[in-house]
Structure formats: C-alpha cells, structure tokens
Amino acid sequence: MSAKPNTETPEEHDVAASLREYAKKGINEGIDNKTRLDYYREMVRIRRFEERSLRAYQQGNIGGFLHLYIGQEAVAVGCVSVMKEDDHIITAYRDHGHGLAVGMSMNECMAELYGKHTGCSKGKGGSMHYFAPDKNYWGGHGIVGGQTPLGAGIAFALKYKKLKGACLCFMGDGATNQGPWYESLNLASLWDLPVVFIIENNGYSMGTALGRHSIGTPLARRAEGYDIDWSTCYGHDVYEVRHNVGAALERAHESSRPTVLEIMTYRYRGHSVADADDTYRTKQDIQDYKNTKDPINLFHDHLIEEGIADADTLKQINAEAKEEAEQSAKFAEQSPFPPESDIQADVYWETDNPDERTSEGTLFFN
Amino acid sequence: MALITYRDAVNQALAEELARDPNVFVMGEEVGQYKGAYKVTRGLLEKFGPDRVIDAPISEAGFCGLGVGASMLGLRPVVEFMFWSFCYVAFDQVINNAANIRYMSGGLINIPIVFRGPANGGTNVGATHSHTPENFVANTPGLKVVCPATPHDAKGLMKAAIRDNDPVFVMENTLLYGNEGEVPEDDYVIPLGKAEVKREGTDISLIAHGRCAILCLEAAEALASEHGINAEVVDLRSIRPLDEEAILESVKKTNRAVLVEENKPFCGVAAQICSIIQEKAFDYLDAPIKRVSSIDAPQIYSMPLEKLQIPSVERITEAVLEIA
C-alpha cells in the first residue's frame, strides 16, 4: 500500500516545491523539454476548448448537458501521457479532456457538441459520449458508474488476448457510491485484471460535497476490502499524476493486478453548466483553489522558473490554442446536421452492412 | 438426425462455437464447476478450460458489463443469466450499454455479445423469478431477441446468435429443457428473424413464440379432433428481427388470428403483432384478433393458480372458439 494521507491544507502543501520535486522523480526524470512543453500545450488546449464550448452553449449553439473539465486538466493529460500502445482508456460523461488528450481533434469534438454530422459520433452521442476506438478511447459514458464494469471488461479482453496492456478506467467521486463499481472491484481483483480505477475526486458529487455524500476517506481506501493496492495523489501537478499512474500501470503490466488511484482535483464550473453553482460552495472556494493550485498556472510558472520556456513562448501556445478552439467552433457552425436518414443508421451492424447480413425479417418498426 | 433434449441442443451449440472461434467464451453464475444451474453448460469447463468457461460471482451488473466491455475489443462473450429475471439488476449494462454504444459512437464500436438463459413462469417460484422480458428487449433498438421453442431451433438460433455482430438476447425456458427433438448432427444455423410454420392449417392462425408455440401445437390437435378446426401454427422463433411476412402470409390465408404469448398483455409482443396485422392485413380479417397472454398481475406463487395465470391449451382453445 502506498497510501498518502491527503490532509494537508493548500497552505501547508508547498505546491511549487512539490512540482519541482516530482519533475525530477522516477518516470519524469530525463523527459526532454519539448515533451514538458507538450504537457502544457495539451492542458491549455483543453481549457481553451472548454471555454469556447461554454460560450457556444451560452449562445444557444449547444443544448443538453455540458460537463466542463476546467480545473482538472492535469489529470487527463498526465494519465494519458503515461499510456503505452496496448493501454486503453474509458471514462464517464466529463469526457472532453480525455478525448483531446488521446489526440481527438478539436473540430470533431466541437462538432459533436453542436450535434453536427462531422462530430466524432456523427452527432449521435453528444457531450457525454465521445468515442475514439482507433485511439484506444472507449467513451464517454453518461450513467454514473456504468462505465466501471466496461473498464474491467476491457482489461479482461486484454488479458484474454495475452496483450501487455491495461485499462485506465476513470470515474468521479460520486461514482464511488454506485454498486457496479464494487462488483467491478471484486471481479478485477478475483480475476487479476490489469485495470486502474482512477477516481477524479473533484470534491462534489454533482451538487453534494464529499463530506455529505461519502463516509470513510480517502475513497480509494475502499479498495482494501478487495485486496487491491491503492494510493492517492494531487491532481494539480501533471508530474505527480504521471508518477502515480505510472506506478499503477507498471503493476498492471507486470503483475496483472488492479489499482485504485484517487486523484484530488477540482472543477471550476458547475456539475453541468446549466446547474446552479451557488448552493453548495461559494465563489471564494473556487477562487481559493484557482489561486493556489490551478494546474496550468502552476505549470506555467514552473516552466519559466526551470528555464524550459519563456513567457512569450507560453503566451504563444495559449494564443494558438485559443485560435484552434475558435476555428473548431467555426468548423462546427459551418458543418451540416446529420441527414434525417441517419436516425436509423449505426443502430445495428447488420443494417449498416446489408451485403453481409445473415438475419432475415424486420429490424425497424416505423 | 439425433433425438436430443433442448438442454443438450443448447450445450452442443455452445460447445461447437467455443471450438470454432477462440474469441468465444462462456461466463455466468455456476456455469463451470457446477455445470450450470440447469446443467446446460455441463462438460464445457472440462473441454475448454477455466479461461473460456468462467464461473462468475453473483454480480449480474458486474459480469454483464464486463462482457460488454470485452465485446468492444472483439471478443464474443456468451453471458448466462441463471434466470432472465435477474437481468433487471444489470439493466443499465444490457439496455444502456449493450444497446446504445454502437449508436452513440456513430457506428465505430460493435457489441457482438450474447446474453442467454431461461425466461419463463410456470415453475412455482413467485413473481421475482418468473419474468419474460422479451418485450422489454424488443422495445430497445440496437438489441435482437429470440425465443426458441424446440431443440432444433434452440441449437440453430444459438449458433446464429453467437456469430452475429450485434447483441443478441436468447430466451430459453426451464420447462422446455427436458423436451426431446430431432437435431441435425452437422453444423447448421437458423437465421434470426425467420419464423417457422410448425403446423399448416386453413381456418385460423395461432401465432406464438417460445413454449407457447408448443402449447399452440397441442391446442391445434385438440381443435382438429374435437371441433373440426384446422389451425395453422406460426412459431415466430425470433422477436426482433421479426418475420412480418410469415405472419401476414398466414393471416391472409386463414383470415383469423389468435396471438399467444407468456408476456403480460400490456405492451406485450402480441400488441406489436396485432398492430402490424391490422395495418397490413386489415382487409383479410374476418374476425377481431384475439390475444392469449398471462393474466395481468405479478406472477402468483400458488401452483394451481399460476397454471391458470399463464397461457394453457384450454385458454388457447377457448380463444379460438370465440372467433372461429
């Protein structure tokens, strides 16, 4: 067990010093400067994308739910940066950050939010249901905790195929009280599945604070009942995230054992942007986190301090990301909606491949 | 052709597909060491080993979802429900995930999974263990569902289901497991969505699926010998896809229809078939369509009353006599 009590207050935790320490530790040792800069770029791209999508939502171009990842960027970027060829990833509905981190384009992601035919799911999935199986990204799932057995299943398939890969299965702190996760923990440990359950603990299960929705912290400690190794770490530091995910992935690769990793993070926006954000926390709470632990600002200052980049370079990266996000909104606006005939496409493999159909009879009833 | 039981026919289908395709594996409660709660999977563990015949804990949401996840990566899980009644604790996995992932990914991901097990009442086990959810499943685009009535159909449909690239739900029946029937010894599949006229007739169409098709055959014999009525029995075999053509062809020939199913009547499978017949063969009908379903209440425990609640040869005969 490598549990680290997360009882420090922001004041006690010297975030800048910790970042400097993790920058040179283990998996982060010897990374070239270009790669370090790429982490910054990826985090910034996610934030600018999310900000632009929020504007599109406020302008009425996006409907439904929009669960923004702003504040949590270092988690997705850090985790994905450690993945190897046969590693896979699945998450819940706050899925834009993971999508961009695995290499989905802003265009396909933004167009999906607009419900356009050029979206990653042709406008059929929406914000909560991004998929990119060619990048080992298996969604994007809308029901809290519903993706956790799927994550165990991906790990099962990798082991069945004798591949040296693992599944990073993301979930929120709210999902830790859903039954299917416990069933998944039992199966994962019983059957030695190479899965890492990553709890992105942003402190709130929708609008209910951690202390009001869960007893017994850290949440990852619940893994002990299943003989699963667990740890906790901060999620504002991309290096610290990499360090901890790297250890979990190594365990999965080398001994085909699961891990529960709880990453302490924070979201700046409501559960979904349509939700009231003033019933369970104050603006000051959000500002306090931003002031002390914003993952992008911290990394920005660190890169400059370490002489990895100058302020102008980082400013340029920001400008490029902003422009890329702006262009993706234009792309989405100009893209066509799916044709009406598309409503019944992609339902069955067979109806999409009529020449290879083996069944007979009626599949659709109109 | 060999005379074998429905149970053994399913067993053969599983064994043959396990042997044919290394991506096929069988998973469920008691399927391995215990040889299956109804002995459908006996011998498979010995033949194919614990990596492919997998005993799962009582965690339907967990292992059903695990199966869906594994199928996304190209495996072909055959997941057993000890009873289909237990699917409700895994509903999110089978209805939200198995049915919707292909659609929500814009067709990028396939879910070639089979969920199978018995779905029937009539066994004196009360309301929680007597569900027939084929109507729920058929109401879910993205899913396919079949209800074989004979050993021959059980084997052929099971093999087709395992080879299918979409999620297929196979609903068997504990009261049929011991029934014997002729089953070809060679490799064969029965296409999903193809009904079978199990008895040709001229006076009325009895349209049914699962064990009710067997009851209809018995009723047809009684109607012929006691009332001189020559009933045709159409066994749907598959609910979705549905052989509309076979239904309409039979009704156009006999001009009368009784729809028989173990579903409760409201939004049962027969409600959909009724709608299809009135829309597409209205002018051929000489009498209103009659339905025989389970009596509309949770399944009663008391044995003699449960026999009254589910369709019977007597109730089918009575319904026929009202319109023929």
Is the CB of A348 less than 8 angstroms away from the CB of B144? yes
Q: Is the pLDDT of residue B234 over 90?
A: yes
Q: Is the pLDDT of residue A275 over 90?
A: no
B189 within some domain: no
Which residues in chain A have their CB less than 8 angstroms from residue B32's CB?
Answer: none
- With CB atoms and an 8 Å threshold, state whether B62 touches A190: no
Catalytic (active site) residue B227: no
**Distance from the first to the final alpha carbon of chain B:** 37
Q: What would the mean pLDDT of A78-106 be, rounded to a whole number?
A: 98
Token pair, residue B21, equals 């395709």
Taking the CA of residue B278 and the nearest CA in chain A, the distance in Å comes to: 14
DSSP state letter for A207: T
**Segment B19-32, tens digit of pLDDT:** 999 999 999 999 99
Which chain A residues touch B64 with a CB distance below 8 Å?
Answer: 149
- pLDDT tens across A339-349, in order? 999 999 999 99
Has residue B191 been placed in a domain? no
My answer on whether B134 and B222 are in the same domain is: no
Looking at the structure, tell me whether residues B282 and B206 fall in a common domain. Answer: yes
Give A 322-351 residues with CB within 8 A of chain B.
345-350
Contacts of B110 in chain A (CB under 8 A): 349
Asked if residue B296 and residue B261 are part of one domain, the reply reads yes
Cβ distance A153 to B71 less than 8 Å, yes or no, reads: yes
Do the domain assignments include residue B190?
Answer: no
Q: B206 and B313: one domain?
A: yes
Instruction: Give how many domains chain B has, as a whole number.
Output: 2
Residues of chain B contacting A159 with CB distance shorter than 8 Å? none
Do residue B43 and residue B139 come from a single domain? yes
Query: A352 CA to chain B: closest CA distance, Å?
Result: 8
Q: Across the interface, do B93 and A121 touch by the CB < 8 Å criterion?
A: no
Name the residue of chain B whose CA is nearest to A156's CA: B70
Q: Is 0.90 exceeded by the ipTM?
A: yes
Place of tokens 């009001």: A212
Nearest by CB to B67, from A153, A346, A350: name it.
A153
Rounded to the nearest 10 degrees, the angle between the axes of helix A73-82 and helix A33-58 is: 140
- As a whole number, the mean pLDDT across chain B is 98
What pLDDT, on a 0 to 100 scale, did the predictor assign at position B9? 98
Partner B contacted by A246 (CB < 8 A): no
| Whether the Cβ atoms of residue A177 and residue A149 lie closer than 8 Å to each other | no
B208 shares a domain with B111: no
Q: Do A131 and B105 touch (CB under 8 A)?
A: yes
CA neighbor of A242 nearest in space, from A21, A14, A4, A22: A22
What is the distance between the alpha carbons of residues B188 and B216, in angstroms, rounded to a whole number? 26
Residues with Cβ within 8 Å of A273's Cβ and at least 6 positions away in sequence, in order, are A54, A57, A66, A67, A68
> Do A359 and B238 lie within an 8 Å CB cutoff?
yes
Predicted confidence (pLDDT) at residue A11 exceeds the cutoff of 70: no
Q: Indicate the pLDDT class of residue A6, thresholds 50, 70 and 90.
A: very low
Q: What is the pLDDT of residue A7?
A: 47
Mean pLDDT of the region A63-88: 97
Residue A137 token pair: 């990204």
Q: What is the pLDDT at residue A278?
A: 81
Cα dist from B181 to A122, B119, B195, B236, whole Å: 48, 20, 18, 18
- Give the pLDDT score at A8: 53
Looking at residue A366, what is its pLDDT?
87
A205, containing H or E segment: strand A204-205
Extents of the domains making up chain A: 15-356
A365 touches chain B (CB under 8 A): yes
Which CATH number do you get for residue B240? 3.40.50.920
- Which residues in chain A have their CB less than 8 angstroms from residue B269's CB? none
Confidence check: pLDDT of A5 > 50: no
CA gap B202, A31 in Å, rounded: 81
Residue that is written with structure tokens 């290879």 in the block: A356
Domain boundary among B156, B183, B210: B183
CA A359 to chain B, closest CA, distance in angstroms equals: 5
pLDDT tens-place string over residues A33-57:
999 999 999 999 999 999 999 999 9
pLDDT at B66: 98
A141 contacts chain B (CB < 8 A): yes
In this structure, the answer to whether residues B109 and B225 fall within a common structural domain is no
Strands of A206-291, DSSP E: 208-209, 229-234, 259-264
- The position carrying tokens 């009261």 is B175
DSSP code of residue B324: -
Same domain, B27 and B163: yes
- Assess contact for B264 and B296: CB atoms under 8 A: yes
Phi, psi of A171 (to 5 degrees): -160, 165
Q: Which is catalytic among the residues B17, B29, B80, B129?
A: B129
Q: Are strands A204-205 and B53-55 parallel, antiparallel or unpaired?
A: unpaired
Interface with A, mutate which of B29, B54, B71, B73 (most A CBs under 10 A) = B73
Angle at which helices A295-305 and A15-23 cross, to 10°: 60
Name residues 146-185 of chain A within 8 A of B (Cβ): 146, 148-158, 160-161, 179-180, 183-184
Nearest to A364 by CA among B172, B166, B119: B166
Residues B143 and B206 in one domain: no
pLDDT band at residue A9 under the 50/70/90 scheme = low
Q: What average pLDDT does range B190-211 have in this prediction?
A: 98
Query: Predicted confidence band at A276 (pLDDT cuts at 50, 70, 90)?
Result: confident
Which residues in chain B are closer than 8 Å to A346, comparing Cβ atoms?
102-103, 105-107
Mean pLDDT computed over B158-172: 98
In sequence order, which residues have a C-beta less than 8 Å from that of residue A4 and are 6 or more positions away?
A: A231, A232, A233
The percentage of chain B sitting over the pLDDT mark of 70, rounded to a whole number, equals 100
| pLDDT tens digits for range A237-250 | 999 999 999 999 99
Which of A362, A364, A366 best tests the B interface by mutation, with the highest count of B CBs <10 A?
A362
Predicted pLDDT of residue A52: 98
Distance CA A204, CA A282 (A): 13
In this predicted structure, the answer to whether residue A277 has a pLDDT above a threshold of 80 is no
Burial string for A37-56 (b: 16+ CB within 10 Å, else e) reads bebbbbbbbbbbbbbbbbeb
Three-class SS of A68-103: CCCCCHHHHHHHHHHCCCCCEEECCCCCHHHHHHHC
Query: Is residue B188, in this structure, part of any structural domain at all?
Result: no
Select the residue of A149, A179, A347 nearest B69 (Cβ to Cβ). Answer: A149
Find all residues with CB under 8 Å of A107, minimum gap 6, and list them.
Answer: A118, A327, A328, A331, A332
Instruction: Calculate how close chain B gets to A181, using CA atoms only, in Å.
Output: 8
The length of chain B in residues reads 324
How many whole angstroms from its chain centre is CA A202? Answer: 12
What's the pLDDT at A3?
42
Residue A139, pLDDT > 80, answer yes
Distance CA A251, CA A258 (A): 7
Tell me the nearest-neighbour CA distance from A143 into chain B, angstroms.
8
Structural domain that includes position B287: 196-323
Task: State the smallest CA–CA distance between residue B239 and chain A in angstroms.
Answer: 9
Q: Which fold has domain A15-356?
A: Rossmann fold (3.40.50)
Distance between CA atoms of B29 and B22, rounded to whole angstroms?
A: 21
**Tens of pLDDT along B236-281?**
999 999 999 999 999 999 999 999 999 999 999 999 999 999 999 9
Residue A133 to residue B164, Cβ atoms within 8 A: no
Closest residue to A153, CB basis, from B68, B107, B244: B68
Answer yes or no: B152 catalytic: no
Residues making up chain A, counted from first to last: 366
Residues 98-137 of A with CB under 8 A from B: 119-125, 129, 131-134
CATH of the domain at B146: 3.40.50.970
pLDDT in tens, B106-164: 999 999 999 999 999 999 999 999 999 999 999 999 999 999 999 999 999 999 999 99
What is the pLDDT confidence band of residue A274, given thresholds at 50, 70 and 90?
Answer: confident
